[in-house]
Structure 1
Amino acid sequence: MKALIVEDEELMRELVASVLSREFEFEQIDEAANGEDGLVHFEANDYDFVILDLMLPNLDGLSLARRFLQDQPNVRILALSSECDDYTVRVVYDSGILGFVHKQEMGLETLFEAINEVSAGHVYYSTNAQKILTGMWENPQAYYKVLSDREFQIVRAIAQGRDNDSIGEELGISAFTVRRHKHNAMKKLEVNDEASLLRFALQTGIVKHKGGLDWTDVAHRKQ
């Protein structure tokens, strides 16, 4: 089996490479420090297993994973992330990535277990991420279950500080229609004002605090 590590933190990359080479029987282990280099490696090799950080320079890990899965649907991907919120876990789950580990809980035992499971084709989510998934599945009012795609787009845009006119122009609808969708979304989410809507968006990861991931190209999807 061939493995690729895409991680911009050198110490983390070395740790993962050490575990792969010491504990597993990979015939080839390659490393990349950013998304663009990771893509170059992937296009030149036939990898069975990829470990990638979601917060990469040049090309984010989620976009990279989608490229990998589009080119090679059977590749097994384990994502690492310093962020673990509803939105991040949800888009990773929807993307086809098999495994997700929150870096704050990534000891050697967790890393070994995650690699062992995902490289074998099994799904693995670390404890914090699994709790989020379970909570979302069990909560009938989870945002992705109650909001339409259009309502989600508008909630996200409002939380990013956009006004009704600019949102309407981008989506090809009137400002009145934007207001109507906003009203419906706020009613479904049981929030009374835009400040509460922003808090909700930050808490769930729909938008990120400054410096965090903000995948504006990720479409809202429901199961």
Structure 2
Amino acid sequence: MRWIKEDGNMIFPGDFIPLFEQNGFCTELDMYMMEQVCRQIRFWMDEYGAEISVSVNQSKLLFYQDGYVEKLCEIIERYHVPAHLITLEILEGMALEDAKRLNDKLSELKEKGFKISMDDFGSGYSSFNTLSSLDIDELKLDRGFLMEMHGSRKERRQIVLEQIAQLARKMEIITVAEGVETKEDEAIILQAGCDYGQGYYYSKPICAKEFTETYISSDQA
């Protein structure tokens, strides 16, 4: 999400999302993004026969809003997009506030076919008990893990990263390491046993058009 002003200047999410969280507009933004994602997935399916899964951030305000699940289902049904192609990203802090309430909502979403990802794990107070109690499909490890690998106590931090990856695998949870910016970073997450890496080492953020031209249409040429 980028806010492009009339003069062409671009405002990044870190500058306007906090304001939207305060005034409640983030709920409308989240649903808008969900519709854009479904529209794009439908385009890829119709034009290239490609089923590409996409992750969408979900704010706490939206997550507990009345009729939330029904609204999501309405959108995917409108575009005839399978629910399993949508991964809903939630923040770890939501579990710390009310794990039971969150789990009830997760069960409802997973029953509809959506996948669930916990974003920025390790950015704050991370609890293995919280991880074990939530029915999630994916765990995104905060970029802080890799940033701290280049400081002191590297070996101890590597052990922690490996244990998290192993624990997640035993619970059949996919791990995604954020902040992969160098070949050395990639070597670290491979050694730890992470399933995927995300970061500038692979690609800068790109728009859907560029993604389509680079990764979808070129493969079918």
Q: When the two structures are superposed, what TM-score results if normalisation uses the length of structure 2?
A: 0.32
Q: When the two structures are superposed, what TM-score results if normalisation uses the length of structure 1?
A: 0.32
Highest RCO, 1 vs 2 (Cα 8 Å, sep ≥ 6): 1
